[in-house]
C-alpha cells in the first residue's frame, strides 16, 4: 500500500451515484489514481468507454484517470493496493456492503476510510459509526473519517467554491482526509466530533422535507426562515441530548448544510417535501424521484431517538406523521403554529447517554467522555 503522505493517492470509491461520481471527478482532477465501484455493470462499461456516467451528472466529462469497477465487489488485491477507501453508499445499504468487504480488509495496513453517506439506519437506528463497529470492529470505527457540509455535486464538478467539515476521533486521519480533498476551490475544516457530524448530516434532511413542504403549500420567505431557524434549534437539542457537541451544529455540517438543503430545489429531500405540499402521495413521489432521499427513512430513526431521549422536536415529529401516518401537510402546519408559547433556546438538562454507549463500544469512553 502506498503512503497517504505522498503527493498522489490511490483511491477506491464505493458508489457511483451523484455524490460518489462527483467526488471521483474532484479527486481525478487533482491527479489521484481513482477507481469507482458501481453495482450496475452497464454503468461500469459505459463509464470506461465514454468517461461519462450514464445516470448521474450525465453532462459531465470525467477525467481519464478514473476507472470504473464492478459490479462484483473489488478483489482483495485491488483493495490492498489502495491508500483510501471512500464510501458513498446510502446508509440503508452500508451494513451489507461492509459485511461483504470486511474479510478483504487488512487491519494491519488499513487504508484511510472516509464516509460521506448521511442517514440513520432503519430498524437499528444506528449511526454509521456503529454500523462500522458492528461489521468491521471498533478499531476500524475509531479511525473512520466523515465528510459533510453544503456540497451539491453539480457545483463541485463545476469547481465552484465549496467548504465542508471533516471529522474523526483520530485527528491524524481527519487531517489526511482534509489534505486529500483540499483544493483552491474546495476547502476542508477538521474537527473531532464525528457523532455530531453524522447527526447533523442526517437530521438536516428531515427539515429539508419540512421546508419543501412549506413551499409546496404556497408559503414564502418568513415561513422558510422560521423552519430553518427552528430546525437548527431542534437539531442542536437532539444532538446535545444524544451526546454531540452543540457547537458542531453551528458549523458547515450543521447550519451550513441545513440552509443549503432547505432552500434549493436541487435537494432531493426538499423536492420530496415540495411534492407532498402540492398534494402528491409519498408512494408516487418515491417511485418517480429517481434517486435516494435519505430524509424519508431518517425520519423514522429520528422519531425513535427523540422519543427515547425525551426531546421536544415538534417539526421532526410532524414530518414523521406526514410521511408515515398520512397526516395532511396543511393540518400539520396549523397544529405546529397552534402550539403554546415556549422558550426559544433551551438545551436538554441531561445529555450524552447514546454517545457514551457508542464510545464504550469503541473503547473510547475514558478518552473523550469529558467532552460530552
> Which residues are marked as active site?
204
C-alpha cell of residue 52? 461519462
Query: Residue 193, preceding bond cis, omega within 30 degrees?
Result: no
The residue count of the chain comes to 372
Q: Give DSSP secondary structure letters for 24-43.
A: HHHHHHTT-EEEEE-S-HHH
183 has which bridge partners? 186
> HSE on the CB side for 144, CA within 13 Å?
28
CA distances from 18 to 23, 67, 128 (A): 9, 16, 20
Give the C-alpha separation, 143 to 364, whole Å: 11
What residues have CB less than 8 Å from 154, skipping those under 6 apart?
22, 57, 266
In this structure, the number of other CB atoms found within 10 A of the CB of residue 49 comes to 9
Alpha carbon distance 37, 211 (integer Å): 34
Sign of the torsion formed by the C-alpha atoms of 129, 131, 134 and 136: negative
Amino acid at each position: 500500500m502506498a503512503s497517504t503522505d505522498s503527493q498522489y493517492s490511490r483511491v477506491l470509491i464505493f458508489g457511483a451515484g451523484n455524490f460518489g461520481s462527483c467526488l471521483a471527478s474532484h479527486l481525478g482532477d487533482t491527479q489521484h489514481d481513482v477507481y469507482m465501484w458501481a453495482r450496475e455493470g452497464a454503468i461500469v462499461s459505459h463509464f470506461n468507454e465514454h468517461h461519462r456516467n450514464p445516470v448521474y451528472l450525465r453532462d459531465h466529462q470525467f477525467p481519464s484517470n478514473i476507472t470504473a469497477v464492478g459490479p462484483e465487489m473489488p478483489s482483495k488485491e485491488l483493495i490492498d493496493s489502495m491508500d483510501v477507501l471512500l464510501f458513498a453508499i446510502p446508509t440503508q445499504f452500508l451494513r451489507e456492503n461492509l459485511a461483504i468487504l470486511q474479510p478483504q480488509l487488512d487491519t494491519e495496513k488499513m487504508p484511510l476510510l472516509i464516509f460521506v453517506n448521511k442517514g440513520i439506519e432503519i430498524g437499528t437506528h444506528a449511526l454509521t459509526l456503529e454500523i462500522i463497529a458492528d461489521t468491521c470492529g471498533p478499531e476500524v470505527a475509531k479511525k473512520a473519517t466523515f465528510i459533510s457540509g453544503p456540497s451539491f455535486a453539480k457545483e463541485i464538478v463545476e469547481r465552484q467554491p465549496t467548504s465542508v467539515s471533516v471529522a474523526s476521533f483520530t485527528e491524524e486521519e481527519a487531517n489526511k482526509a482534509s489534505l486529500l480533498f483540499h483544493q483552491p476551490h474546495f476547502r476542508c475544516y477538521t474537527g473531532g466530533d464525528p457523532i455530531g457530524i453524522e447527526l447533523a448530516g442526517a437530521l438536516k434532511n428531515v427539515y429539508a422535507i419540512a421546508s419543501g413542504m412549506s413551499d409546496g403549500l404556497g408559503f414564502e420567505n418568513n415561513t422558510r426562515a422560521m423552519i430553518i431557524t427552528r430546525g437548527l434549534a431542534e437539531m442542536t437539542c437532539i444532538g446535545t441530548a444524544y451526546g454531540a457537541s452543540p457547537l458542531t451544529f453551528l458549523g458547515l455540517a450543521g447550519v451550513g448544510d441545513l440552509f443549503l438543503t432547505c432552500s434549493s430545489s436541487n435537494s432531493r429531500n426538499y423536492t420530496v417535501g415540495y411534492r407532498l405540499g402540492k398534494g402528491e402521495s409519498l408512494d408516487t413521489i418515491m417511485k418517480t424521484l429517481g434517486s435516494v432521499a435519505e430524509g424519508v427513512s431518517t425520519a423514522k430513526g429520528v422519531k425513535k431517538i427523540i422519543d427515547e431521549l425525551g426531546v421536544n422536536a415538534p417539526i421532526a415529529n410532524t414530518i414523521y406523521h406526514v410521511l408515515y401516518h398520512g397526516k395532511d401537510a396543511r393540518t400539520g402546519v396549523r397544529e405546529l403554529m397552534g402550539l403554546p408559547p415556549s422558550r426559544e433556546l433551551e438545551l436538554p438538562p441531561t445529555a450524552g447517554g447514546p454517545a457514551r454507549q457508542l464510545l464504550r463500544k469503541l473503547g473510547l469512553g475514558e478518552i473523550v467522555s469529558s467532552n460530552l
